[in-house]
Amino acid sequence: MSLKLGDTFPNYKFQTTQGEFNFHDWLGDSWAILFSHPADYTPVCTTELGAVAKQAEDFKKLGVKLIGYSIDTVSSHEGWIKDIEHYNGLACGKFPYPIIAGSRKQAADLGMLDPDEVDKAGLPVTARCVFVLKDKKLKLSLLYPATTGRNIAELLRVVKSLQLTMEKKVATPANWQPGDKCMVIPSIKDDEAKKLFPKGFETAKLPSEKAYIRLTPDPSS
């Protein structure tokens, strides 16, 4: 059951480092990022979870809840958090988000397992999945192999893009950053675009003479 964009995330009952809860109850109507890691007490994961913790306030300002996931136990997570805090220079005892102690079946159902990386028992470990959710639905997913760490700044960037493009009738081009020009979506006619974007828009001149690239200042700025 690999999730597709627009699918509702299953309402699993999760055991976590911050107690047991039904996922939908914890999520509410908020934005959220659920990200999986291969295993506790592993090097790349220790840097990743620490990097997310360091930027937890930046996600909070965007209204984004954070939650980690692997198929290790709660007690394993709790012990490992001390290493994460120490290695990344975090304040001890104030880890800012829960980590789920998931099941292998859940991980398989969600398409999280990495067939090329196995644990000591020879079983596939959890890949580095990222699920960005809003209204309990999948809005964006990223999938990294176990050997490649994620870029946390990119997760912040894509959330900002998603939030902007859900609110305004624009798209964001490659390498977009907040404040950069956005693109008027093709379904908007010029007359409507003039009303929607009072700062105006410019149309790129192309060899095809088709007017499908229209740039407008970031409407959130």
Q: How far apart are CA 12 and CA 20, in angstroms?
A: 10
182 has catalytic annotation: no
* Nearest residue to 38 via CA among 66, 72, 9: 72
Q: Centre a 10 Å sphere on the Cβ of residue 23 and count the other Cβ atoms it contains.
A: 19
- Cα–Cα distance, 35 to 99 (Å, whole number): 9
Distance separating alpha carbons of residues 221 and 219, to the nearest angstrom: 6
Q: Which of 45, 72, 114, 182 is catalytic?
A: 45
Cα radius of gyration rounded to whole Å, the chain: 20
Residue 45 falls in the annotated catalytic set: yes
Query: Residue 54 phi/psi, 5° resolution?
Result: -65, -30
Give the pair of three-digit tokens for residue 23.
């996922």
Out of 92, 109, 114, 135, the active site residue is 135
Active site residues: 45, 135
